[in-house]
Structure formats: structure tokens, C-alpha cells
Amino acid sequence: MEVVVLHSEAYNQLREETFGYMRKLIGEDRKESAIEWLDNREASKLLNASPRTLQNWRDSGLLGFSQVGSKIYYSRQDIDLMLQQHHRKPFKAAA
């Protein structure tokens, strides 16, 4: 086994950097766990789309979803992503 000796200043700096990385990782985990989930009714209302249209979008892979038993959930991020991917810029008006 190799023994590594550090000066106290180097050790403290290494320790602070390590704790900084850990805090950053924990913060990112919290962001990911704060996903807003919408059920079929809420997503239908938000998108002004029928439940059948939502099913067509799920079946075609257009809209991501999670299913627990028979209950369908959509993440707000997946809905926003779908809308961004299908965003069209306005046409130029004729002069």
C-alpha cells in the first residue's frame, strides 16, 4: 500500500473541492426529483387536446409518458420538449 502525505493546506483545499462537487451533485439530484407530473386530464387541458389525441401522440412516440397501472402521467419537461421540437417560425408577411 502506498502512503500519500499532504500538507494541511493541500488537504483542506482538496476537502473543500470534494465537498463542493458533492453539494453540486446533490443539488442536481434535487432538481431532477422535482419533476412536475401531469395526469391525462391535466395534460389534455393544458394542451387543449382530447385524451384520444394524447393516446395517438403516445403511440407514435411523439410524447413521452410514464404509466403506473392504468394511470398515465406526462412530465412537464416532455410536453415542453414536444412543443419546442414542433415549433415553426412565422412566415414572412407579403410586402
**What interhelical angle do 40-47 and 51-59 show, nearest 10?**
100
One-letter amino acid at 42 equals E
Predicted structure pTM score: 0.59
User: How many CB atoms neighbour CB 54 within 10 A?
Assistant: 20
Whether 94 is in a domain gets the answer no
By percentage, how much of the chain surpasses pLDDT 90? 52
Write out the three cell numbers for 95. 410586402
Confidence grade of residue 94 (pLDDT, cut at 50, 70, 90): low
User: How many CB atoms neighbour CB 78 within 10 A?
Assistant: 19
- The per-residue pLDDT for range 44-73, each reduced to its tens digit, is 999 999 999 999 999 999 999 999 999 999
Per-residue pLDDT at 95 = 61
Whether 77 is in a domain gets the answer yes
Looking at the structure of the chain, the number of domains it has is 1
Q: Which domain holds residue 65?
A: 37-85
- Look at residue 80 and give its three-state secondary structure: helix
Per-residue pLDDT at 68 = 92
